Amino acid sequence: MASEQGLDAVRSVLENEAPHLLEKRETKARREGLPDLNNATKGKVVLRFAPNPNGPLSFGHARGLVINSTYREMYDGEFILRFDDTDTKVKPPMLEAYKQIQDETEWLIGRQPDRVVFASDRIETYYEHAANMLEQGFGYVCRCSAEEFKEHRVSKTSCPCRTQTPQDNMVFWTRMLNGNFKPGEAVVRVKTDMTLKNPALRDWPALRLQDTKAHPHPRPEIGSTYVVWPLLDFQSAVEDHLQGVTHIIRGKDLMDSTRKQTLLYEHFGWTYPETLYWGRVKVHEWGGFSTSQMRNDIENGKYSGWDDPRLPTLAGLKKRGTQALALRNFWLELGITQKDISVPLATLYAHNTKVIDDDAPRMTFVRHPVSFDLVGDHQDSIELPHHPNHPQMGVRRWNLSNGKIWIESEDLEKMDLRLKEFADVALHDREARLESIERLDKRPIVHWLSDQNSTEGVLVGTKDDTHLHIEGRVERHKHPVGTIVQLERVGYARIMEDGNLMLCHEELQAE
């Protein structure tokens, strides 16, 4: 009917016979941004992000920062940055990382955290809760070796220490604090249930001993002060409660941690925060990087530092010109699904391009340049816009009075070229003969450089795990260090401290 009499005819029939069918269907709106939090009241939400400062922040850390701080904005709540620096041997903190992480946090989320907490400043507080736990009988000092306890965990049997009286436990606890035990000889456990289905939850360890003489804490004010240190599950659980954290959003690798901590909260009579998890994210182009592996590779010279652009650190990404907003948009788009995913860098680059293109002045870089002499009448100078879509950004003026120009060697295959914004030329030997100022035909348009307005320069970048190093001529400019420019026909680049250019989005041209 619609095809024969038109839609209007159909409509009029419906109006008469079934008007309700014409009512606008309410289409499900695609959800914008992050989903609502459970049990969240505006103004009362407290979130935290708790990295170990054993190195600067990496790409993956950005997720925790972005998601948590975005919820802070959504609910007008509080965001805590907490340094979980309670291990001095396996993953020892790095002193410089404390400040760097705070700086990077501010860079990424655009504001300072509402609170900054150092776990290593709060050891006495954790002790109080440990003592409390022992006195109340839901914790005990276990003097079994790790191997011995493992057998108990597997066989669902209690170890001999489990039935000690609170008094005995307090005696052992004091001896732990006094350094009468060596690391490995005693540990404080939370009494749960040795028959729990999940073996990970059975009487889990809460505090242990560390040889802080041999491995002092890197913060000088802490150093070797303490020998008893809380483990993550205990420290984090107690601190979350003390700080009034209402929502925890973290990796699903910590799901069992939530269960362990919930058991502890039950003992203390506390209510566990709402918890959300995200799955693992891999980037196609990056293998597995661990903080300790990166540290090794930096020390042995494989990478130039934490800001080596080949590294998935925030510092490395920043050096390549990745914008904080692009990173935020990227993580917000992924959301908080529990799926394990693998994303290509192209996705991050797409976000970055959107952020930078409007503000990126155009510049010219001629790779593998070949010089030509202009032959024919031409003006002494030309003007080029800084940005084709934004005339208000002004123009750059090139001087052509010495008649010498540079062209990319890759463009020489064609003899007839259009020098962008200038003239049609024909190449012969090292001469570029002017054929027309007006564009007359469809010959390819190439970028080029006036000799007087360019210097030798280097374009660097990365290709997989190697450096890209392209010699060429770079246009003279007055942009400050750090400016993101667009090298026409080449790509976006960041102006570096040494005056060279760093490609923002690796890929193309394996040279």
Partner RNA sequence: GCUCGUAUAGUGUAGUGGCCCAUCAUGAAGGACUCUCAUUCCUUCGACCCGGGUUCAAAUCCCGGUACGAGCACCA
Q: Name which position in 45, 52, 94, 222 contacts RNA (CB under 7 A).
A: 52
165 contacts: CB under 8 Å, gap ≥ 6:
none
Closest CB to RNA among residues 1, 90: 90
Beta bridge partners of 282: 342
Residues from 189 through 248 that contact RNA (CB under 7 A)? 197-200, 205, 208-210, 229, 231-232
| 13-21, 47-55, 166-174, 493-501 -> range binding RNA (CB under 7 A) | 47-55
Helix, strand or coil, per DSSP, at residue 384? strand
Give yes or no for residue 422 binding RNA (CB under 7 A): yes
Residue 202 beta carbon to RNA: minimum distance, rounded to whole angstroms: 7
Residues from 474 through 493 that contact RNA (CB under 7 A)? 486, 488-489
Q: x/- contact string, 377-416, with RNA (CB under 7 A)?
A: ----------xxx--------------------xx-----
Residue 201 beta carbon to RNA: minimum distance, rounded to whole angstroms: 8
Helix, strand or coil, per DSSP, at residue 275? strand
> Is-contact 398 450, C-beta < 8 A?
yes
Give yes or no for residue 337 binding RNA (CB under 7 A): yes
Give yes or no for residue 89 binding RNA (CB under 7 A): yes
Question: CA 367 from chain center: how many Å?
Answer: 32
Residue 34 beta carbon to RNA: minimum distance, rounded to whole angstroms: 8
Q: Which two tokens stand for residue 489?
A: 């026909």
At residue 63, φ and ψ (nearest 5 deg) are -60, -50
Residues from 140 through 159 that contact RNA (CB under 7 A)? 144-146, 149-150, 153
Residues from 90 through 109 that contact RNA (CB under 7 A)? 90-91
Q: Which two tokens stand for residue 272?
A: 């566990």
- Pairing assessment for the beta strands 139-142 and 115-118 based on DSSP bridges: unpaired
The CA dihedral of 411, 462, 314, 247, to the nearest 10 degrees, is: 90
Q: Name which position in 48, 61, 396, 418 contacts RNA (CB under 7 A).
A: 418
Closest CB to RNA among residues 185, 307: 185
Query: Cα–Cα distance between 413 and 166 in angstroms, integer?
Result: 87
Residue 46 beta carbon to RNA: minimum distance, rounded to whole angstroms: 19
Closest CB to RNA among residues 118, 268: 118
Count residues contacting RNA (CB under 7 A)? 85
Closest CB to RNA among residues 111, 174: 174
Residues from 266 through 295 that contact RNA (CB under 7 A)? 277, 279-280
Q: How many CA atoms lie within 13 A of 395 on its CB side?
A: 7
Query: Cα–Cα distance between 88 and 229 in angstroms, integer?
Result: 9
Closest CB to RNA among residues 252, 304: 252
Q: Which two tokens stand for residue 337?
A: 């699904």
Residues from 105 through 134 that contact RNA (CB under 7 A)? none
Query: Cα–Cα distance between 457 and 477 in angstroms, integer?
Result: 12
Give yes or no for residue 343 binding RNA (CB under 7 A): yes
Residue 272 beta carbon to RNA: minimum distance, rounded to whole angstroms: 15
Closest CB to RNA among residues 265, 349: 349
| 67-75, 160-168, 308-316, 343-351 -> range binding RNA (CB under 7 A) | 343-351
At residue 403, φ and ψ (nearest 5 deg) are 70, 15
Residues from 9 through 28 that contact RNA (CB under 7 A)? 25-28
Q: How many residues does the chain have?
A: 511
Burial of 344 (0-12, 13-18, 19+ CB in 10 A): exposed
Residue 395 beta carbon to RNA: minimum distance, rounded to whole angstroms: 14
> Is-contact 449 475, C-beta < 8 A?
yes
Residue 97 beta carbon to RNA: minimum distance, rounded to whole angstroms: 12
Q: Is 429 left (phi over 0), alpha (psi -120 to 50) or beta?
A: left
Query: Cα–Cα distance between 440 and 423 in angstroms, integer?
Result: 9
Q: Name which position in 447, 449, 461, 494 contacts RNA (CB under 7 A).
A: 447
Residues from 65 through 84 that contact RNA (CB under 7 A)? 84
The CA dihedral of 159, 163, 169, 171, to the nearest 10 degrees, is: -100
Structural element, H or E, at residue 449:
strand 448-450
Give yes or no for residue 50 binding RNA (CB under 7 A): yes
Residue 284 beta carbon to RNA: minimum distance, rounded to whole angstroms: 7
Name which of 414, 425, 490 is nearest 457 in CA terms. Answer: 490
Closest CB to RNA among residues 30, 478: 30
Give yes or no for residue 33 binding RNA (CB under 7 A): no
Question: CA 120 from chain center: how many Å?
Answer: 25
> Is-contact 249 225, C-beta < 8 A?
no
Give yes or no for residue 347 binding RNA (CB under 7 A): yes
| 101-109, 158-166, 316-324, 356-364 -> range binding RNA (CB under 7 A) | 356-364
Q: Name which position in 255, 393, 427, 434 contacts RNA (CB under 7 A).
A: 255
Start-to-end CA span in the chain (Å) = 63
Closest CB to RNA among residues 244, 388: 388
Q: Name which position in 21, 342, 392, 442 contacts RNA (CB under 7 A).
A: 342
Query: Cα–Cα distance between 208 and 149 in angstroms, integer?
Result: 14
Give yes or no for residue 357 binding RNA (CB under 7 A): yes
Closest CB to RNA among residues 286, 304: 286
Q: Which two tokens stand for residue 140?
A: 């005990």
Residue 398 beta carbon to RNA: minimum distance, rounded to whole angstroms: 13
